[in-house]
């Protein structure tokens, strides 16, 4: 069966984990890996896994986009270079899945709003952050039942799973996630907290979601909605598990989640890596299915002059 050919930009933890996810996909094929350091482990591994590689950044990829039929690219670099990467690839008709906190395109959490984006043929969609992917489905599960005045999420991440890019730019993570809790999660106000825990053996990613509902929470309906949403996420992240809750205290709803990864590139504790790459892959697959079925067509984006 024909597959949509993909390029991966950024050879760090996320880019490398994406190779595994995409290689298993029915609809996607990883063809190129773009890095900036010829010595990087990510590029070496990508080459060993059969991908074409360049260490010359995005410009090393551009001449090959058309001849290699690249239609979807995943950007796992940084918020600072993403806009430029996206512009250059969109011009060539390549759709961009953004895994940086740049968030220049619409924000996407697959079980919440992926369908909408595919219907609109967006050329750039943003995956928010690992914490966003792990918590916004729950916020949305509450807000679709009852208004949410305020939602707050706490993501605990193992130190070993957080790369240097995220560490050096922690504020971008906080801003992007807080905003997405409102825009995608449906809370009137959102706040995101991140904790990096160095415990050995590394702790599995944990997420706590608090929602303050408008009026007294409908415990039965909210519990059913949260459990249904967890099943949706488990379709692409099997290790997405409820540990405690939903627990109700006044108008506060608390849900305590754990995300165990598949252990593709980093071990299973790095559920944060998995939920991000799995959500990105799921998003790309949705677009790929539509392209392969002839329902949508990607067109080059003209540059505004």
List residues forming the annotated binding site for NAD(+): 11-14, 161-169, 272
Provide the 3-class DSSP secondary structure of residue 230. Answer: helix
66 is a site residue for another protein (CB under 8 A): no
Smallest distance from another protein to CB 279, Å:
22
Return the number of the residue (70 or 157) whose C-beta is nearest another protein.
157
299 lies in the site for another protein, by CB under 8 A: no
Helix (H, G, I), strand (E, B) or coil at 221: helix
Return the residue of 17, 75, 98, 152 that touches another protein, per CB under 8 A. Answer: 152
The only residue of 149, 168, 189, 234 in contact with another protein, by rule CB under 8 A: 168
Q: Residue 201 to residues 155, 160, 267: CA-CA distances in angstroms?
A: 18, 10, 11
**Binding-site member from 55, 64, 252, 268 for another protein (CB under 8 A):** 252
Are 200 and 129 a contacting pair, CB within 8 Å?
no
Residue of 174, 188, 263, 296 interacting with another protein (CB under 8 A): 174
Q: CA quadruple 82, 83, 84, 85: dihedral positive or negative?
A: positive
- Judged by beta carbon, residue 90 or residue 156, the one nearer another protein is 156
Note whether 12 and 37 are within 8 A (CB). Answer: no
d(CA 296, CA 258): 36
Residues 101, 103, 109: CA angle, nearest 5 degrees? 90
Cis before residue 26, ω within 30 degrees of 0? Answer: no
Catalytic residue among 6, 108, 130, 211: 130
CB of 77 to another protein, least distance (A): 18
Six token digits for residue 21: 């996810």
Q: Is 100 in the site for another protein (CB under 8 A)?
A: no
Cis peptide before 246 (omega within 30 of 0): yes
> What is the footprint of another protein within residues 185-224 (CB under 8 A)?
191, 193-199, 203, 206, 208, 210, 212, 223
> Has 6 been annotated as catalytic?
no
Q: For residues 13 and 291, is the Cβ–Cβ distance under 8 A? A: no
Binding-site member from 254, 289, 292, 296 for another protein (CB under 8 A) = 254
CB of 114 within 8 A of CB of 108? yes
Residues of this chain that interact with another protein (CB under 8 A) are 150, 152, 154, 156, 159, 164, 167-171, 174-175, 191, 193-199, 203, 206, 208, 210, 212, 223, 227, 242-247, 249, 252, 254, 256
Q: Which residues are catalytic?
A: 130
């Amino acid at each position: 069966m024909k597959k949509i050919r993909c390029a991966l930009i950024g050879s760090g933890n996320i880019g490398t984990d994406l190779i595994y996810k995409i290689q298993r996909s029915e609809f996607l094929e990883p063809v190129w890996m773009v890095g900036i350091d010829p010595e990087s482990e990510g590029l070496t591994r990508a080459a060993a896994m059969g991908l074409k590689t360049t260490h010359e950044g995005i410009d090393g990829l551009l001449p090959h986009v058309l001849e290699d039929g690249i239609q979807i690219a995943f950007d796992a670099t940084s918020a600072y270079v993403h806009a430029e990467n996206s512009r250059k690839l969109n011009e060539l008709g390549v759709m961009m899945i953004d895994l940086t906190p740049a968030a220049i395109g619409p924000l996407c959490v697959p079980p919440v709003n992926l369908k909408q984006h595919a219907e609109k043929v967006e050329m750039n969609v943003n995956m928010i952050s690992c914490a966003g992917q792990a918590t916004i489905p729950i916020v949305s599960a509450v807000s679709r039942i009852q208004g949410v005045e305020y939602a707050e999420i706490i993501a605990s991440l193992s130190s070993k799973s957080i790369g240097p890019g995220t560490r050096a730019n922690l504020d971008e993570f906080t801003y992007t996630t807080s905003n997405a809790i409102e825009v995608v999660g449906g809370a009137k106000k959102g706040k995101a907290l991140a904790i990096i825990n160095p415990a050995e053996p590394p702790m599995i990613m944990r997420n706590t979601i608090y929602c303050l509902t408008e009026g007294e929470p409908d415990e039965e309906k909210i519990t059913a909605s949260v459990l249904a949403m967890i099943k949706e996420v488990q379709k692409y992240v099997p290790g997405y598990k409820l540990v405690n809750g939903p627990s109700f205290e006044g108008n506060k709803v608390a849900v305590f989640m754990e995300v165990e990864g598949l252990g593709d590139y980093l071990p299973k504790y790095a559920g944060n890596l998995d939920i991000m790459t799995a959500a990105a892959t799921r998003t790309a697959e949705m677009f790929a299915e539509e392209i392969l079925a002839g329902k949508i067509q990607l067109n080059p984006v003209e540059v505004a002059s």
